[in-house]
Amino acid sequence: MSRNLITAGIIDPRQFSLDEVRHQVATFLNIPLQQIDRVECWHHQIWVKLVESRAIFVSYRNLPLWIEAGLAAIGRCTSRSQLDELGEICRRERDWYDQHDQPEAVQPWRQAWAKQAEYLRNEEEHLKPIRAHQEAGRDWYGAWERVLYCCREFSRLQGLAPEINQQSQDFQDLPEIIQKMQQLWHQRWQELSGAIA
């Protein structure tokens, strides 16, 4: 069975407002709201009991709330891989609309997907220098960690302090790196000062 918005866990029909479902079903069926006795949101379809009549099933895809839920899901994507995965699911959903002669119904998804893709692309470009700086900070810490663990004399450790302090100025905006360096320095200081006592 191919994944759709429900089976992929993107949309949970139980989260839909029953009043909204009821109104949209009445609009879809082109009947007065009073003609609907009861609606139930089942996992893959809506069970609709009509007044003094039989029950019928209505696909969620026939209602605007399905498109709205898809739009909300697209807007929640925070990575390109997440957006691409959702795009594949939406393409399969599109097949249903094509088969029911409603290809224009998913046009809002196409527009929202393109807009979110552009947003994520711009966000990634904006974050590249920040991530590069963070990576440089981690590399700096890793290099000094190796040096400090190789240092076996307290006097040499003290001699490294000015260089570490000077270089650490480049990473003052990365408090977690600075904190780790301070902790490492104090740990090595205690170990080596204890060794000479």
Q: What is the pLDDT of residues 28-60, one digit of tens each?
A: 999 999 999 999 999 999 999 999 889 999 999
3-state helix, strand, coil in the chain (%, to 5): 70, 10, 20
Residue-wise pLDDT for 124-143, tens only, equals 898 889 989 999 999 999 99
Instruction: Check pLDDT > 80 for residue 2.
Output: no
Percent above pLDDT 90 for the chain: 75
Residue-wise pLDDT for 76-109, tens only, equals 999 999 999 999 999 988 888 999 888 899 999 9
Checking phi first, is residue 90 left (phi over 0); if not, alpha (psi -120 to 50) or beta?
Answer: alpha
Residue pair 112/74 in contact by the 8 Å Cβ criterion? yes
Has this prediction a pTM greater than 0.85?
no
Based on its alpha-carbon atoms, the radius of gyration of the chain, rounded to whole angstroms, reads 30
Residue pair 32/97 in contact by the 8 Å Cβ criterion? no
Structure tokens at 61: 């895809």
